[in-house]
């Protein structure tokens, strides 16, 4: 998580196999599998800043990366002939006609199933066209036939509602039809050493002539939502521990503005807008109980992991620093366990989006290590 001696080679010491990356974003998932010993040969990402970020870090983090293809995979999901094909991607990664990757990884955009979006009728009803991007992954899986795969997504995809349940059942059916045995589970990044409570769905599988990987057991434990204590032998890494030795300059956009920004200094660390409710005993309540989303005016507690960091927070949506300001980019990197010298390309809002959409590399590494063990 920290790089006290400057730039470091962030790849694994022993190369295990080749990988193809879909919906790569800024490379969090790829950085994790590299640290486990896999080598990303080709990545596909439509966002220009995120693709530039992967390319900028290639020398230190992705030494086998031949190309970052900037393409929309929706045509592949929809079964159309236009757009990039599976063979285009494989050729760009240096795979011959009969070669197959050792690992396929990807995190299709999760807007349709995000827990934070279920207040929208069109998301609850399952009418979001982005949902079909899951089919881009399964279609690539069917055609490319890698030895193993790792799919990451929001854990709300497993919810039993009109949007999530049919989509998850369809996903499982398509993986099975592609010829793969698989398992899945919801893993909280904090349980694997990341200083952020970030639950994510992981689906891992193998061709039926291979051993199916087992998801890794937790390495850390601590409270999370209604859970008081569970997990591995080590305590959760706290936000205070992660940021303790980090000295960074102020940023121009770190002041919390908006209609309610002035209230933030009164909120205790770890609390949110509920502090200003009658149920909490506030003498002059401002908000009704549970009238806002939980991250509204949410402040970090230095003694606990950070709550989930969002990609596109509103003006009064946290988590904010306990010093009553927005988190700075180096702090965001620490809370995701990105290396300090990992460089992001783009304006501040774009960088926030790239980091907020990323898979914490430390979590990805441990899942990829479990896949490597199955090999």
pLDDT at 1: 42
Share of the chain above pLDDT 90, in %: 80
pLDDT of res. 209: 92
Question: What confidence tens digit (pLDDT) does each residue in 80-125 have?
Answer: 766 899 999 999 999 998 899 999 999 998 755 554 444 444 344 4
Banded model confidence at residue 7, pLDDT cuts 50, 70, 90? low
Domains annotated on the chain, with CATH: 17-235+357-374 (3.40.50.150), 249-327 (no CATH)
Mean pLDDT of 294-318: 96
The residue ranking higher by pLDDT, 264 or 252, is 264
Helix 133-144 / helix 164-177 crossing angle, nearest 10 deg = 10
3: confidence class by pLDDT, cuts 50, 70, 90: very low
End-to-end CA distance of the chain: 27
Written as six digits, the tokens of 134 are: 């899951």
Tell me the average pLDDT across 72-76.
Answer: 89
Q: How confident is the model at residue 2 (pLDDT cuts 50, 70, 90)?
A: very low
Over residues 333-339, mean pLDDT: 98
Q: How confident is the model at residue 8 (pLDDT cuts 50, 70, 90)?
A: low
Q: Which pLDDT value is given to residue 120?
A: 43
Examine the pLDDT at 219 and tell me if it is beyond 80: yes
Q: Over the stretch 222-237, which tens digit does the pLDDT of each residue have?
A: 988 777 667 899 999 9
The contacts of residue 291 (CB under 8 Å, 6+ apart) are none
Average pLDDT on 12-33 reads: 93
User: What is the rounded distance in angstroms from the CA atom of residue 272 to the CA atom of residue 142?
Assistant: 45
What span, in angstroms and rounded, lies between the C-alpha atoms of 315 and 326?
10
Q: What is the pLDDT of residue 113?
A: 55
Catalytic site includes residue 172: no
Q: What is the pLDDT of residue 83?
A: 80
Residue 130 pLDDT > 70, yes or no?
no
Residue 255 has pLDDT above 50, yes or no: yes
Average pLDDT over residues 285-295: 96
With 0-12 / 13-18 / 19 or more C-beta atoms within 10 angstroms meaning exposed / middle / buried, residue 293 is middle
What pLDDT does 119 receive? 42
Question: Which residue, 209, 189, 204, 156, is CA-closest to 362?
Answer: 189
Kindly state the average pLDDT of the residues 51-67. 97
Task: Please tell me the predicted confidence (pLDDT) of residue 117.
Answer: 46
Write out 318-355 in H/E/C secondary structure.
CCEECCCECCCHHHHHHHCCCCCCCCCCCCHHHHHHHH
Mean pLDDT, range 152-165, rounded to an integer = 90
* Catalytic-labelled residue, pool 41, 65, 110, 163: 110
- How high does pLDDT run on average in the chain? 91
pLDDT for 112? 55
Per-residue pLDDT averaged across 349-361, rounded? 97
Nearest to 151 by CA among 189, 206, 69, 196: 206
Residue 10 has a pLDDT of 82
Per-residue pLDDT averaged across 246-252, rounded?
92
pLDDT at 4: 40
Detail the DSSP E strand segments found in the chain. 17-22, 38-44, 67-69, 103-106, 148-154, 180-188, 199-207, 220-221, 234-235
- Give 30's DSSP letter: H
11: pLDDT confidence band, cut at 50, 70 and 90?
confident
pLDDT at 77: 83
What does pTM read for this prediction?
Answer: 0.91
């Amino acid at each position: 998580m920290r790089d006290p001696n400057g730039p470091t080679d962030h790849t694994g010491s022993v190369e295990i196999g080749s990988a193809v990356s879909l919906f790569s974003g800024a490379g969090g998932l790829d950085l994790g599998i590299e640290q486990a010993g896999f080598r990303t040969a080709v990545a596909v990402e439509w966002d220009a800043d995120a693709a530039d970020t992967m390319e900028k870090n290639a020398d230190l983090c992705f030494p086998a990366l031949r190309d970052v293809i900037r393409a929309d995979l929706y045509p592949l999901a929809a079964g159309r002939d236009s757009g990039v094909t599976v063979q285009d991607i494989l050729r760009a990664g240096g795979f011959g006609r009969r070669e197959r990757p050792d690992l396929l990884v990807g995190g299709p955009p999760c807007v349709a199933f995000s827990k934070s979006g279920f207040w929208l009728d069109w998301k609850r009803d399952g009418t979001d066209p982005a949902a079909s991007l899951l089919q881009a992954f399964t279609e690539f899986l069917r055609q490319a036939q890698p030895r193993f795969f790792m799919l990451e997504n929001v854990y709300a995809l497993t919810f039993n509602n009109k949007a999530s349940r049919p989509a998850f059942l369809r996903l499982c059916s398509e993986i099975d039809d592609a010829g793969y045995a698989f398992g899945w589970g919801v893993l909280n990044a904090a349980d694997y050493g990341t200083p952020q409570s970030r639950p994510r769905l992981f689906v891992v599988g193998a061709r039926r002539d291979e051993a199916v990987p087992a998801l890794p057991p937790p390495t850390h434990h601590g409270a999370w939502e209604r859970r008081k204590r569970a997990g591995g032998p080590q305590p959760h890494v706290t936000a205070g521990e992660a940021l303790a030795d980090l000295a960074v300059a102020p940023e121009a956009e770190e002041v919390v503005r908006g209609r309610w920004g002035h209230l933030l200094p009164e909120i205790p660390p770890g609390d949110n807008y509920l502090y200003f409710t009658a149920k909490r005993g506030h003498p002059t309540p401002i908000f009704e109980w549970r009238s806002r989303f939980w991250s509204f005016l949410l402040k970090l507690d230095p003694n606990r992991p950070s709550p989930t960091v969002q990609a596109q927070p509103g003006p009064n949506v946290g988590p904010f620093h306990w010093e009553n300001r927005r988190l700075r980019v180096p702090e965001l990197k620490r809370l995701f366990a990105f290396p300090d010298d990992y460089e992001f390309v783009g304006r501040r809002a774009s960088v926030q989006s790239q980091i907020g959409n990323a898979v914490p590399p430390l979590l990805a590494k441990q899942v990829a290590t479990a896949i490597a063990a199955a090999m």
